[in-house]
Amino acid sequence: MDHRESTDQDADNLAHIVAFLQRKDVETCFAIHPNRLASADFVLPSDWSAWWGWAGSIGQESKDEPWLNLWRYSVASLEEKDLPHFLSIPQELKTLVDIARQLQLPRSMIHTDDTIKARRGGNSNGMSPKKEHEVERMVAFISERLRESSNVSSKLVHRAIDIGAGQAYLSRALRDRLHFDVLALDWSDVQYRGAVKKENPKGRKRTAPSTLAASAELLPVHRNGSLDYKTVDINSTTLLRATTDWLESTNSDLGPRGGAEQQASLPVLLVALHACGSLTLDIFRALTQQLKLNSAQSVWTPRLAVIVGCCYNMLRPEDRVLQIDRSNGLVLTANHLQLAAQTPDHWGLTAHKLLETSLAIRKVAWRGLLEGLLLRPDHDHSPLPVDPKCEGGSQFRDASRRLGRLNDAAYADWDKFLAAAQQKLGVHLGVSGTNERDAVLA
């Protein structure tokens, strides 16, 4: 598939996703927060009536609760979808789930050259297996792309900026294995201190970069790498500035731009692994800005960018608009972004993960039910003696925000949850039992 075909296909996919999100029955699911469902002024959207009763029933035909059965349906293979325990799920819901699955973007792995993995020779130095896997694949992918680009350009890339570097796992891998000079950027002092610790772990000698197994067959390497770390609040402007400053300070031969003796600008690799929310967009903004400069104006040129985004819920509000022709006026809300960060395919990877998912669903449901109780006019809302360690007060409208986090033990059963919530909010609801939970729904 050539570049134009794949761009057209992406635009088509996006148009289908926009149309799906704008369906009335889908739109209402995003528009109404679960905390509103048990309030007296909640009006059931007509599109929900086909499945609302079923969703609130305690599973009868199957031992699974309805949400769990629906989730199982969503991840089932085509053949499994006809199994008897899925028969009770309303067809309207099944159709929504089926369309959502069809619109899912492909998640198949890109092939990379795994020989680099076999050559690592280092230790994981505190990386989780997941992080180690991600770093492995990033390094292999970058190495291959650079090998390709070295065929078309004589100017080798050996400087990299790791944006949102965290504890600099990827930075160190680029330095030690691909012999890059790396600038790691992050705004967090805590991450910086973690990175310093990882660099010099107690009682362990760091292997000198030059003695680590190099990927010499993958990239022609004739040098050692280096790593500088800078704490900076990154946006497109500060990213460009930090990169230029670093290159000028580490390359004394660069000299002022614009002179007759002007050298070509330095090729730079930009990397980001899990660049949260708007950080990813800021990187692309910086990238396009820098690419627009001609080489006489710029100390450096982005040659390659390998960016993995994450945490869409952290996008700044102004970045939540789909600025494309096919957006059809769709504006993403906080609810869209929260849900975009969910990965239902992973919920059941292990029995433990499924338990965690059940707990997360319970938290959402019980907090919604609590909101319903707080808003009921017939309850005694008299303030409890306020625990000085907790936020107190009797303004219920804002209750769920003020409730903040409760620890997992508070969700062991409804009575415990109710007691913990009343204590935290400093109110007395005059209720304590499971009957009250069910009464909210009546």
Ligand X SMILES: C[S@@+](CC[C@H](N)C(=O)[O-])C[C@H]1O[C@@H](n2cnc3c(N)ncnc32)[C@H](O)[C@@H]1O
Shortest distance (Å) from residue 109 CB to ligand X: 18
One of 51, 169, 229, 396 touching ligand X (CB under 6 A): 169
By beta-carbon proximity to ligand X, the closer residue of 219 and 286 is 286
Residues making up the chain, counted from first to last: 442
By beta-carbon proximity to ligand X, the closer residue of 166 and 302 is 166
By beta-carbon proximity to ligand X, the closer residue of 101 and 198 is 198
Pairing of strands 159-163, 266-276: parallel
Q: Of 19-27, 111-119, 183-191, 344-352, which part binds ligand X (CB under 6 A)?
A: 183-191
Residues in 295-314 that interact with ligand X by CB under 6 A: 310
Q: How far apart are CA 80 and CA 67, in angstroms?
A: 17
Shortest distance (Å) from residue 421 CB to ligand X: 31
Q: Of 67-75, 186-194, 214-222, 251-259, which part binds ligand X (CB under 6 A)?
A: 186-194
Q: In the structure encoding, which two tokens stand for residue 82, read together?
A: 């006809």
Instruction: Yes or no: say if 245 and 196 are a contact pair by the CB < 8 Å rule.
Output: no
Q: Is 161 in the site for ligand X (CB under 6 A)?
A: no
Q: Which long-range contacts (CB under 8 A, 24 or more apart) does 409-418 make?
A: 411/359, 411/362, 411/363, 411/366, 414/366, 417/366, 417/370, 418/370
Instruction: Count the Cβ atoms, other than its own, within 10 Å of residue 332.
Output: 18
One of 38, 116, 140, 165 touching ligand X (CB under 6 A): 165
Diameter of the chain measured on Cα atoms? 84
By beta-carbon proximity to ligand X, the closer residue of 310 and 361 is 310
Residues in 236-295 that interact with ligand X by CB under 6 A: 273-274, 276, 279
Shortest distance (Å) from residue 191 CB to ligand X: 4
Q: Is 233 in the site for ligand X (CB under 6 A)?
A: yes
Query: Which residue of the chain is nearest ligand X when measured via CB?
Result: 166
Binding mask 107-136 for ligand X (x = CB under 6 A): ------------------------x-----
Strand extents, DSSP E, 69-123:
none
Strand extents, DSSP E, 232-381:
266-276, 300-310
By beta-carbon proximity to ligand X, the closer residue of 133 and 155 is 133
Kindly list the distances between the CA atom of residue 413 and the CA atoms of 59, 279, 425, 440, in Å, as whole numbers in the listed order: 19, 39, 18, 16
Q: In the structure encoding, which two tokens stand for residue 100, read together?
A: 């959502």
**DSSP reduced 3-state for 159:** strand
Q: Of 93-101, 145-153, 180-188, 371-379, which part binds ligand X (CB under 6 A)?
A: 180-188
DSSP 305-347: EEEEEE-GGG--GGG-B--SGGGTT-B--HHHHHHHT--GGGT
Residues forming a β-bridge with 307: 272
Q: Of 104-112, 143-151, 162-170, 257-265, which part binds ligand X (CB under 6 A)?
A: 162-170
One of 164, 302, 309, 368 touching ligand X (CB under 6 A): 164
One of 69, 191, 215, 280 touching ligand X (CB under 6 A): 191
Considering only CA atoms, which of 114, 147, 299 is closest in space to residue 220?
Answer: 147
**DSSP reduced 3-state for 398:** helix
One of 132, 136, 181, 186 touching ligand X (CB under 6 A): 186
Residues forming a β-bridge with 249: none
Shortest distance (Å) from residue 130 CB to ligand X: 10
Instruction: Yes or no: say if 337 and 310 are a contact pair by the CB < 8 Å rule.
Output: no
Q: Is 187 in the site for ligand X (CB under 6 A)?
A: yes
| List of residues contacting ligand X (CB under 6 A) | 131, 164-167, 169-170, 186-188, 191, 233-234, 273-274, 276, 279, 310
